[in-house]
Chains A and B, each alone.
Chain A
Amino acid sequence: MRIDTQSRNKMSDNLFMGAIYLFLTILLLVVLYPLVYIISASFSSPTAVGAGRVWLWPVDFTLVAYKAVFSYSQIMTGFANSLFYMSVGTVINLILTLLAAYPLSRSEFRGRGFFTGVFVFTMYFSGGLVPTYLLICNLNLVNTRAVMIIPVALSVWNMIICRTFLQSTIPEDLFQAAKLDGCSEFRLLLKVVLPLSKPVLAVLGLYYGVAHWNSYFNAMLYLTDKRLFPLQLVLRSILIMGQIDYTMTDVFDIEYLMQRMGLSQLLKYAVIVVASVPVMLIYPFAQKYFIKGMMIGSLKG
């Protein structure tokens, strides 16, 4: 009896698809569970968390951790600072990125190859930590708001993505026609290229924005004034160095002193949630753009 290759394939196919669904579901759970757990734990009571009674859903639902978080002045300052660094920083990023990408995308630019090399070289080789640190000191940027924005004002990687986009999206005839009309490069950039670059600027804006929001290294190196700390630095002292200053909150009373252990844990969970919520909310909408960005980046030439 001839065993039909078709039916043999059907069986192995079904088995295979079963394995695929199993794999994906396991992956889904492995990624999802810690996130769900942390959210649930943050809404549970300190005693429940301390006793390890939280598994999936909140136990003894309470908002005390969030009350502590929102009244914790250092966290709120950090939040505001991060918002400032992110918004101002991203605008400056996009301006510099477009200003660099535009000339480098134009084939008529006589210095094109040379200057592209000048920028790209810095992606592979740099002066290193100590020389950069000393430079920042010499520029008197230490402990200023500017140090969170200016030293990171341009990412060459992102600039290349922008350049690739401009090269492949804007037709050469557009430039020819504009030149015939006597249009200067400045007007060309402002009136023609800028409106057309909205998609890539949206992608890069998101890349830059997330980078600003998540950064802590520069803040750790250069900032000592607590009023300038971005959120991530505050989080670091709470989550990793375990330095929770209850006098900064409104939750400073005897009853909770007793549950201090549980509340510390709880506070950490709540802080994790609060810090990640802005990014998690924006990310689904931004997902489309990030994917596009990766695809443009993969075509970089």
Chain B
Amino acid sequence: MIPLHVPNVSLHRHSRSQIMKDNLKRILLRQWQFYVILALPLVYIIIFAYVPMYGLAYAFIDYSPSKGIFGSAWVGLRHFKQFFSSPSSTAVIFNTLWLGIYGLVAGFPIPIILAVALNEVGNKSYKKVVQMVTYAPYFISTVVLVGMILQVTDLRLGIINNIIDLLGGKRINFMAKSNLFASIYVWSGIWAGAGYGSIIYLAALSAVDPQLQEAATVDGASRIKRIWHVDLPAIRPQIIILLLFNLGRILGIGFEKAYLLQNDLNIKVSEVISTYVYKIGLVYANYSFSTAVGLFNSLISVCLLVTANFMARKLSETSIW
């Protein structure tokens, strides 16, 4: 009997396209699991981060509650023009920028100096004590921090005024003076955050090759010279990144602290963009104008951050993304 040459079905499986189809199936079989795992966080971010972006339309319409969002007239850039021509807006922008720049100039070097100083200390227990104490205020909540500020600067009972009294000076009503607001805001922030901010520099400093430091000392460098030529260059990437990152966020003066420190006497200097947006939008219910201002703020911040990141990449090999 002549064996029938029956086409072997299994031979088809090994053809090129079949193998590719099998691989694709195997890939999709694996991939769908990733999608399922990612589903919950994805749903969250879509609902709470992306859906509100539709609300940005409020900035371009003349919203009135009776007409609803679709019935209200389109006004284009009117709210933005209104914002720029209003004197109160200029004041608000200026306040925000001033607090941001003052805070950056005064506050940026201090964690670095602290980290460098700590790095030089030989006594381990002293170092630990300083670290423990200076890191602590970071965890105090904004409400408690402002509460402490109000207590400490109190005209009659505050410890600062008690000391001034003791030294023979005249008591100062700190919270009532608008020219002192920025300093109170900035320096309390430094008091609370400098210690924590130094951690990242300290970590980088401890990673500096001790051989480099030894070589510098052997070459006859004093401590100061060694710090300037070996340690500081070693943490240059961190310094640049953090500086640029903070510059990018300069308009983002937070709502919480400013709002709590505001009072009728200092409101001219304490109204920042975030509190302004809040009051216009949720207290006076002027949704359109508030959204416009908020959108403006977001866009500027994005531009600043993108520029900052671009510059970081140019100046060092590291960048935020």
Contacts and interface: CB of A to CB of B under 8 A. Distances in A.
Q: Is the contact region of chain B dominated by helix, strand, or loop, or is it mixed?
A: helix
Contacts of A150: 48
Nearest to A185: B33
B144 A235 contact: yes
A28 interface: yes
Contacts of A32: 133
B143 A96 contact: no
Nearest to A118: B45
Interface size band for B: 35 or more
Q: Is the contact region of chain A dominated by helix, strand, or loop, or is it mixed?
A: helix
Contacts of A135: 47-48, 51-52, 55
A134 B321 CA distance: 32
Interface stretch (A15-23, A63-71, A164-172, A247-255): A15-23
Interface string B268-279: 000000100110
A169 B274 CA distance: 39
B75 interface: no
B141 A111 contact: no
Contact of A31 (B54, B136, B165, B302): B136
A136 to B, nearest CB: 9
A116 to B, nearest CB: 10
Which of B40, B50, B117, B144 has the most A CB atoms < 10 Å from its CB?
B144
A111 to B, nearest CB: 7
A100 B41 contact: yes
A49 to B, nearest CB: 7
B120 A276 contact: no
B224 interface: yes
24 contacts: A20-B120, A23-B117, A24-B130, A38-B148, A50-B157, A110-B34, A115-B38, A122-B50, A130-B294, A134-B55, A135-B55, A156-B45, A214-B139, A216-B141, A235-B143, A239-B147, A240-B146, A271-B147, A275-B144, A276-B140, A276-B144, A280-B136, A284-B132, A291-B203
Interface of B: 27, 30-31, 33-38, 40-42, 44-45, 47-56, 58, 113-114, 117-118, 120-121, 126, 129-137, 139-144, 146-148, 150-152, 154, 157, 159, 162, 165, 191, 195, 199-200, 203-204, 220-224, 238, 255-256, 260, 274, 277-278, 281-282, 287, 290-291, 294-295, 298, 301-302, 305, 321
Given A99-B38, A284-B132, 17 more contacts: A6-B220, A9-B220, A31-B133, A31-B191, A110-B27, A111-B34, A128-B291, A131-B53, A133-B281, A134-B287, A184-B33, A236-B143, A239-B144, A265-B154, A275-B143, A276-B141, A279-B139
